């Protein structure tokens, strides 16, 4: 059961017509969620065949129209395009006169706050930045996953209640992010979620190479427990040869990775050094074991004072503190 505070009826936005500009994985899911809350999707735009099929699947019966027509029909417009495309889209829509005064214009970029919507604001739009901290598949399961999902929200003071109400109606929980902190907020999410997928995929490939028939079945309980422990305990949950200072084991790992999967060596080294720093700082890694460990993590090409060397910034006296 969600513990999200439900807004009073006076704080809830009126039932709105909803449009989507950019039928990627996010837009149709949010519009479908808003539809369940009583709002009415009326228009969606999409360029690729995949986006059009996605819109037809998740928003059946909602017409596909050009972006300017989406804005003409909708009270609330979701701008769900890639981050790099957002500034140009907003400027273009404002310059063509597509933005209407009083129209809620919502983007879902994690990187930007409401400043990116300034051209539309000058045209009278009401700007909101609502970023769901969730990975999307482009299928109906995304709507279910929004239940309890945190949203990074940035909004002008006078629109905070409206922003909160929209997030809660989608099943989410608002987290207020200051405009200047949006890039840092987004970097944190990318570090945790996007890179996790790369690490898991690499781990599965290595297990297959080692002869494991069902790497997903092997990793599932292990990674689930590791994630739960990390969320509960932070650095205190660190385990494994790096945290223990087992330099010999780490050397054996690197030998095998160089032989079987050389493309994973750089990532292993980077993560192992970061883990060593955190384990040393938290007291898990004993200082007397750190020098040999960090030596094992220093490729010969780095040199004795290079980025992986014990005399560099990642040594026992470096950024481990």
pTM: 0.83
Phi, psi of 284 (to 5 degrees): -75, -40
Give the tens place of pLDDT for each residue, 98-116: 999 999 999 999 999 999 9
- Alpha carbon distance 247, 112 (integer Å): 43
* CB within 8 Å of 231: residues ≥ 6 apart: none
Whose structure tokens read 């369940």?
36
Return the structure tokens found at 261. Answer: 């999967």
Residue spans of the chain under pLDDT 70: 1-13, 299-321
pLDDT of residue 299: 67
- Alpha carbon distance 45, 180 (integer Å): 30
Q: What percent of the chain has pLDDT over 90?
A: 87
- Asked if residue 97 lies in contact with residue 118, where contact means CB atoms within 8 angstroms, the answer is no
pLDDT of residue 47: 87
Q: Is the dihedral angle over the CA atoms 221, 26, 111, 177 positive or is it negative?
A: negative
pLDDT of residue 13: 59
pLDDT of residue 14: 74
- Alpha carbon distance 285, 72 (integer Å): 61
pLDDT of residue 3: 42
SS3 content of the chain, % helix, strand, coil (to 5): 55, 10, 35
Return the structure tokens found at 47. Answer: 């360029």
Report the candidate in 134, 123, 133 with the shortest Cα–Cα distance to residue 153. 133
Give the tens place of pLDDT for each residue, 208-261: 999 999 999 999 999 999 999 999 999 999 999 999 999 999 999 999 999 999
- Alpha carbon distance 179, 270 (integer Å): 31
Supply the mean pLDDT for the chain: 90
pLDDT of residue 310: 37
- Alpha carbon distance 321, 318 (integer Å): 6
């Amino acid at each position: 059961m969600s513990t999200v505070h439900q807004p009073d009826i006076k704080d809830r936005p009126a039932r709105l017509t909803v449009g989507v500009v950019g039928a990627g994985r996010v837009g149709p899911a949010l519009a479908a969620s808003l539809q369940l809350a009583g709002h009415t999707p009326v228009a969606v735009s999409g360029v690729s065949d995949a986006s059009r099929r996605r819109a037809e699947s998740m928003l059946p019966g909602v017409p596909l129209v050009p972006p300017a027509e989406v804005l003409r029909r909708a009270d609330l417009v979701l701008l769900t395009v890639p981050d790099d495309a957002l500034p140009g889209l907003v400027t273009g829509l404002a310059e063509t006169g597509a933005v209407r005064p009083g129209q809620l214009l919502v983007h879902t970029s994690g990187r930007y706050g409401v400043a990116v919507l300034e051209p539309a604001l000058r045209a009278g739009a009401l700007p909101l930045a609502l970023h769901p901290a969730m990975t999307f598949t482009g299928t109906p399961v995304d709507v279910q996953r929004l239940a309890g999902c945190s949203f990074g929200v940035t909004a002008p003071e006078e629109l905070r209640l409206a922003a909160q109400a929209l997030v809660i109606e989608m099943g989410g929980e608002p987290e207020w992010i200051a405009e200047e902190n949006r890039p840092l907020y987004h970097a944190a999410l990318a570090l945790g979620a996007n890179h996790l997928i790369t690490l898991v995929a690499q781990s599965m490939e290595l297990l297959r190479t080692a002869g494991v028939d069902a790497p997903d079945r092997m990793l599932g309980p292990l990674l689930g427990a590791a994630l739960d422990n990390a969320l509960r305990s932070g650095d205190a949950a660190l385990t494994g040869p790096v945290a223990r200072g087992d330099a010999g084991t780490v050397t054996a790992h690197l030998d095998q990775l160089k032989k079987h999967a050389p493309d994973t060596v750089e990532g292993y080294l980077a993560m192992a050094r970061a883990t060593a720093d955190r384990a040393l700082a938290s007291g898990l890694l004993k200082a007397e074991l750190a020098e040999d460990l960090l030596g094992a993590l220093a490729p010969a090409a780095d040199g004795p004072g290079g980025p992986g060397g014990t005399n560099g910034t990642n040594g026992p006296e470096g950024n481990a503190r």
